[in-house]
Each structure stands twice: as structure tokens, then as C-alpha cells.
Chains A and B, each alone.
Chain A
Amino acid sequence: MLTKKELEHAKTVLGREPTETELGMLDVLWSEHCSYKSSKRWFYLFKTEGDNVALGIGEGAGLVDIGDGYLAAVAMESHNHPSQIDPYNGAATGVGGIIRDVISQGCKAIGLMNCLRFGHPSKPHNAYLLENVVRGISEYGNSVGIPVVGGELEFDDSYDDNCLVNVVCVGWVKPEEVVRSSAKTPGHLLVLFGSTTGRDGIAGVSFASETFSDEEEDNRGAVQVGDPLSKKIVIDTLRELIEEKLLEGLQDFGGGGMTSAAGELARAGGTGVEKDL
């Protein structure tokens, strides 16, 4: 949810009251999920530059030159809140999202890893979360044909009310096949492809960024339902698009939806986007 201060800032910049649509867009873009507004201050702790870093922070996946004409891609993401509400789908769509980050950079995704934290499994609810999160990760990876090659797991009482589900995807790409997240040619059309958005997942990032309340059950509809079949079709389609050199830019369509995806493409390319809703 937007803070009062953010709303004031929006009004100052716009010079008027934001419309309902604009409010919805700001709510998504300035959510923790999309803008990292509370965790951003810690990013300096990560090393993101170096001789072998081909692409640092800012796009779907980091790219590191591993020699012999190959770049390794690594992306990592948490799906804590969704997994706490709906462990199977929350974890599965976390995997789906992180694969998407890697393939949208033009890379071939080849391995998955995870880093999981739960309260002690002697408590039934923790055991339920653990079993379903693990099933969500493994079944999604298996269905799209990307193996889970490693992971780590710890239990501590402090995770009783909020499990941590972090997933990692690793891939590779040749430098000449890297696809950037930018739309720089005026007049080009943006094409949206992939699985459909249903009633599930709507405004998911706003929910995912909020502090938990007692309404966990009410939020279940905000967790997207995993669709590995569509993901595999997207992976294959993307490979063909890249091989036929049909892409100028590409942005994954994440929790920020069209607001975020189209905006990021245009901003990176120094262009604008017209959208008819």
C-alpha cells in the first residue's frame, strides 16, 4: 500500500490528484516486491562489479563471463509470503518466476537451487509448509525439465509465522545471444505472450509486500497458480525467437504486470509506450 508521503509525492509530480488507474500503477511499482524500497539500502553489500561481470544489477539475471565464449547467468528471488499462504503454488510460482528471469535474458536455464527456512517440523503446520514447498519446487522444475541441483534447509522457531523460500536459477548464454530489456525503436509493437492471467495472482505484489495480517485465507486468491506447461512452451518459443533473431528487446512479465514490464522496456530504451486497456 502507498504511504501518505508517497501519495503526496505523486501529487506534487503530477500537479493533480492521481486517477484510480495511476494509483493502482503506483501501488504496484512502489511495492516492496517491485522497488525494494526497504531492502535497497543494503544492496551495497553485494559485489556487483568486476572484470568478468558482463551484466550487473538491474535486469532479469546477472551475467558473468566464464570464458570459452560463454556467460553464466544467475538469478535469485524470494517467494516467502506466497509460500506461507499457499505453499505448493507459492513455491512453484517462485521457481517459475526465477526461470523467467533467466530465460528473458536470452539464456538457457539449466539448474535450480533453493534456500529454505522453516519453523521446526515437529509442529504440524511447519511440516505441512515444508512438504508442500518442497513438492512445489520439485514438481515445477521437473515439469519444465530443469533439475533442482542443490539447496539448503534450516529450522528455527523464529520462522514459525513466516517461512523463507528463496529460489535460484542458473543458466548460460553466448554473449551474442544476450537479449536486453529495452525497447528503443519508436513505432515497434510490444507483444505479450505466455500463460494467461486468471483471477489468481491479481495484485499479488501488493499483497506480497504487506505485513501479514490475520486474513491469510483471504489472500489465497492473490497467489498465482503454477502453470509449468505454459512455461515450457514459453521456453521453447523464446528459443525459436532468439534463433531466428526476431527480438529487439525482451522483458519478463512478473508480479508487476504490464505496468512494470512495459514501463521498464520503454525507460531502458529511452522511448514511451501507448497502452489501450
Chain B
Amino acid sequence: MAYRWKNDLSPTDVTPKGLWLNRRQLMAGVGGTAALAMAGGSARAQALEPNTLEQISTYNNYYEFGTGKDDPAAYASALVTDPWAITVDGMVDRPGEYSLADLMSGLTVEERIYRFRCVEAWSMVVPWNGVELADVLDKVGVQSSARYVAFETVVQPENMPGVARQVIPFPYVEGLRLDEARHPLTLLATGIYGQPMPKQNGAPIRVVVPWKYGFKSIKSIVRITLTDTQPPTTWNRLNRREYGFYSNVNPEVDHPRWSQASERRIGGGIFSSRQDTLMFNGYGDQVASLYDGMDLQENY
């Protein structure tokens, strides 16, 4: 259902092309007034300036193109995104290979301005365009036995210079619990700032889960699998102690490499100051109930 969750800001019409590169005073509501109102909480709008498209599309982690933050922007243009097919399988009523258009048909693409917090302790604010993953799941018909959703990123070795280096195993895989996947905040995003998704940001279609560390928001999806067992996830497989399945943004659970208590917003320049990281990246009043009764130190 489109517009279940509302930005303070109306969709892309307030952000005419040409302005988004240097607007400075934009007030972006990320409190989610509508969802909050539905949840009975008090609406709290926060002034946040989204990052520029240039920042969002030149500082990326997309290891298929290399480990440098500027590698994806340098090499992702080779990625072939048209045609694009997504295999939907597992515990679904209507499995099959869907074209991107088929998967998105009839769904309303809306703008969602979300905080984005990387496990490396940097963050951005990104105005995504996308649909709720829940709507796509409804379309393919999730069977009652399903409990998890698994995703897989495309592998095009000839177009992805990082694949041969095997810095991490490919294809990149991620997963969500079904209730996380169905949460109104969880998006399948196809654009940023009203533009088609830049390839380095995961074109043509990617997951966005704003209360989890960025690596959970898997890019360039070619497979969606509904399953009843917790699916393997790439970073967890690589280093179980450092990257849990849940990987909710949590300033109290320290990562072995990076303190998660604070973060740096990208775009502040060389003298930018750190800011405190918010529990669930600031979406706690909307998602904390998903984890009622769970020990979040244990289930990091």
C-alpha cells in the first residue's frame, strides 16, 4: 500500500531537478508522521538535509566493483541493467522469472527520505524512490509457511572488476525475517531524487531497510526467495562475530572494528563533527516492537 508512511516532505515535485545538487536549506522530515500517528505516538519531525546526489553516488560500498569507496562510481557504468529479470521462488504462490516492469506494475513509486547508516560508522540521508517490499510480496503471494525472505545480487563477472578478486564471496546474499520485510519502512527502491537508481547505488532495484546497517540493504537484486529457515547472509558468513543476521543499528552493541556509538554524516568536510548514533537509526518507535522479548546484545 503506497503512502502508508509519510515524509514531512511531499514527493519529488518539491525537489525539481537542478535544485537537488546544491539545495542547502531543505527540511526533510524523517520522523514519519503518518506512521507515528497510526502507532499512536507523537509526531516528531526532524530537520535533516539530504545528501546531494553527487555524495550519494560517489561514496559507495559495492565490492563487485572494487573495495574503494570510489570504485563503484568509476566502474559500475558497465553493469547491464536492461533487460532485468528477478527470479522469485521458494514458498510463494506465483513463482517465476519476473521482468522488472512486471514486478513493479500497478505499484506506486513514492519518495522516502531515510537515514542511511553504514556499519563503518558513517551515514547519509537519502531520498529514495521505491515501493514497499510488502506490496511486491503480496503480488507474488507469500505462503503461510514462509518465515524469511532471501535476496541475491547479480553477478556479471565481465562487467564487475571486483568479482574476480573474490574479496568476499559472490553472489552477495542477504535476508530479512518476514515481518521485517513486510514492515512499511522496508523498500524496494528504484531511484534516488526522482532519477533512476544510479548503477553504483544498486540499479535497477535494491532493498532499503533504514533501521539496519547498510550492508543489509542489498543492491541489484536478481532473486527473491521465500523460505522457512534463516537464510545465509554474506557478511555473517564471512565473519559471524562481526556481522549478525539482524544487524540493527544499535549504538550499544559495539562492532569489533568500529564503535557504533557515534557516526559521521557524509558531506560535512574535513572538520565535520561526529554525532551520536540513534537506536534503530532513529526508527525505534516504529520497529522496536519487531524485537520485543529479544536480547539485542545476543541477536546483533
Do they bind each other? no
